[in-house]
Chains A and B, each alone.
Chain A
């Protein structure tokens, strides 16, 4: 098999690179064990939320953020690139109706009632923006675990908002005809696609609402027919309805995965899900093949001109820590930087403290090509994107999707520029 590009990983970074490369006319294969973090996390493009104080304007904050952190992936991704990647996503996926820019952060409620800074978000979530305060009712569904509107509302009512406004939040627990057993968020998403179910929910909810209240639902308002489901519910309730991200699985994230996957396949890309990139063949500073292990007991070397590593970090299996305490990159055997020296602590006892090993990852040059331990480009035709990149702490900075999108976008640009 002979391709122009092989991308390893099908998360936001891998699929973003894949879609752009396929759209540029390159024969592109994306290979992945399974979907990535899109299925687990909200589809909001969080560019920079904390640095370490709350960030209101990501574009303005990025300069000094990067100046203090020269090894951060954003140091290789100019704000113009981050912004262009968000514009690209917005234009690519009109069905998800992304709104917002990286100029300013919205503050959206999480499932536990914390105002969370996000830059570019689906329209159905944007209406939950808390920055101007307001009156909100959060609807709980009977059989949905992990979404407790009362917890959400109570925490939110006490939350300190930077703008000084207050939020009046309360819970409305529905006795919806969900099911006798517990229902997952995907199960509810399917139910909400049924008009009859929406009408029952709306009928129960309407009398419980007070004038001027917007209504927040867990983000289960349809999977395949989200937009019509959401707008119809809004019509029935006669007021603003918005979605609050749930704990995993994330229906809203699955919508993003579906949309990117469809765009990739539509552009002629080849998606190999359920296969593993078991290794690579290299020659003279160039990657020649990625070796793919499918169901058959034969490794299949796939030749390509360019390769993209988008396998994620420790959680996704892109990096792993062996029993000797050594950190490895799974596919190309790349050098991992940011690993504490022998004898230094790798972890500290308090979970939310700065974990020394947390920023370990792949170092890259300005074109996002992985570097070896001496700081030279490891392979001239290999690029890296997403959570495999070292130097970031996405869960603290709230930068995960912003980095994934911008780096996937930039990698594709670097490859496409190389072809012309």
Chain B
């Protein structure tokens, strides 16, 4: 059976139990989105090649929680993602969506011009103009460009000598262009644990293109990336990612949403793909993680992003951070921060995204003594933008506790 058939075919397993709707962060704050069950397994039966009878699907943020919690295994988010791409192809894709879906291209332009590009991004008038022309909300969180890419740092970084084991690092666009420090800290933590870190040349995984309905481009990117990483996976190297949503793209989403189940490269890469916290906790379980942590005197709210939960691995970050003396970690019981990649940037969705995230922002503000922790970059930017509290990848706390700074 091809992917399309079993992803779409899974809707027959829907028993209309509404569990997805109790979790859906969007339909719980706005009537503009009638919920994953209604828009997914129900409406899908009415969609024909002539189009979708209902446009409310566009208000799905694509967070994927519905699929994660469905006890019947219905691929709700995947069905909706495919239907949205078709709908957008029929109704036209806004220029904005074509631009914000390309963080790598933005990075290629922005990184060399970082001081100037950042000046504009921080400039209220420019953001106002951006809102008026492209409908990117002026208050939405936008990352600043780093002046030097992570790739350029990694090429000059001397590899660990006398290492007996090696691991591949998939940094994604964010660590490359916006937060190279996250990549550097990941490398340092892995090296501290005796790994030689291999950083292959790599480009975007196509996730933002996929969430904006640009499936053909997304397929091109993810296939190219899989071709780059596959030789390592085939030789048995594990691949770790700090960008939890891009890691999930390579593990599962591209295969199911973009119908690439038959792509052998992607399957091999998926089989060796690890979220970095998953990888480190696995090491710990085997007694191979160094635990020479110094105490960190702080209370940190931790938010497991929707895409992190999509991995189905629990919340390894909490167990890892629990190894750090005197660090108090408070797990957020909130479903979503609202931003869902590029959703919360869009003018017409910004308010919804902020409403979705409101309970999380309250918790972060109440709990944090210094920083919040979260595995996904866009969620971190959203949390920081909304609360003013710096948000870090869990790897940064491990890095600090190892005394690597």
Query: Chain A: residues with CB nearer than 8 A to chain B?
Result: 1-2, 29, 32-36, 39-40, 179-181, 184, 186-187, 190, 224, 248-249, 254, 258, 262, 265, 270-276, 292-298, 315-317
Contacts and interface: CB of A to CB of B under 8 A. Distances in A.
B270 interface: yes
A39 B107 CA distance: 44
Given A40-B17, A40-B19, A274-B309, 12 more contacts: A33-B72, A34-B72, A39-B22, A184-B27, A190-B28, A249-B18, A249-B21, A271-B314, A274-B68, A274-B312, A295-B248, A298-B271
A293 B312 CA distance: 8
Contacts of A275: 312-313
Given A272-B312, A272-B313, A316 B71 contact: yes
In order of increasing CB-CB distance, the 9 nearest A-B pairs are A275-B312, A34-B71, A181-B31, A294-B312, A274-B68, A297-B270, A295-B252, A274-B312, A298-B271
Contact of A298 (B67, B69, B272, B333): B272
Contacts of B255: 297
B274 to A, nearest CB: 8
B19 A35 contact: yes
Contact of A317 (B35, B67, B71, B310): B71
A270 B285 CA distance: 13
Contacts of B251: 294-297
A248 B37 CA distance: 13
Q: Give the interface centre of A35, A248, A295 by most chain B CB atoms within 10 Å.
A: A295
Contact of B271 (A184, A187, A249, A297): A297
B282 interface: yes
Contacts of B252: 295-297
Contact of B311 (A184, A186, A190, A295): A295
Contacts of B73: 33, 276, 317
B15 interface: yes
A293 B19 CA distance: 21
Contacts of A295: 248, 251-252, 310-313
A323 B194 CA distance: 53
Interface string B190-213: 000000000000000000000000
A34 B70 contact: yes
Nearest to A186: B22
Contacts of B71: 32-36, 316-317
Contacts of A315: 15
Contacts of B271: 296-298
A270 B319 contact: yes
Contacts of B15: 315
A223 to B, nearest CB: 9
B331 interface: yes
Interface residues of B, number: 39
16 contacts: A35-B19, A39-B18, A181-B31, A184-B22, A184-B27, A184-B35, A186-B21, A249-B22, A258-B333, A270-B314, A273-B69, A276-B73, A294-B311, A296-B251, A297-B255, A297-B270
Contacts of A32: 71
Nearest to A39: B19
Contacts of A33: 70-73
Interface string B312-326: 111000010000000
B112 interface: no
B51 interface: no
Contacts of A316: 71
B354 to A, nearest CB: 16
A316 B19 CA distance: 13
B135 to A, nearest CB: 25
Given A295-B251, A296-B271, A184 B18 contact: yes
Contacts of A190: 28
Interface in B1-36: 15, 17-19, 21-22, 27-28, 31, 34-35
Interface in B245-261: 248, 251-252, 255
B315 to A, nearest CB: 8
Contact of A296 (B69, B270, B319): B270
Nearest to B268: A297
B9 to A, nearest CB: 15
A316 B314 CA distance: 21
Interface string B333-373: 10000000000000000000000000000000000000000
A272 B314 contact: yes
A316 B28 CA distance: 25
B273 interface: yes
B31 A35 contact: no
B267 interface: yes
B17 A248 contact: yes
A271 B27 CA distance: 25
A273 B312 contact: yes
B22 A273 contact: no
Nearest to B19: A39
A137 B285 CA distance: 57
A287 to B, nearest CB: 19
Contacts of B319: 270
Contacts of B310: 274, 295
A184 B19 contact: no
Contacts of A40: 17-19
B19 A249 contact: yes
Contact of B69 (A34, A224, A272, A294): A34
A274 B248 CA distance: 13
Given A33-B72, A190-B28, A317-B72, A294 B313 contact: yes
Contacts of B311: 274, 294-296
Contacts of A186: 21-22, 28
A112 B319 CA distance: 46
B17 A39 contact: yes
A180 B17 contact: no
Nearest to B64: A274
A250 B337 CA distance: 24
A141 B156 CA distance: 65
Nearest to B267: A297
Interface string B102-127: 00000000000000000000000000
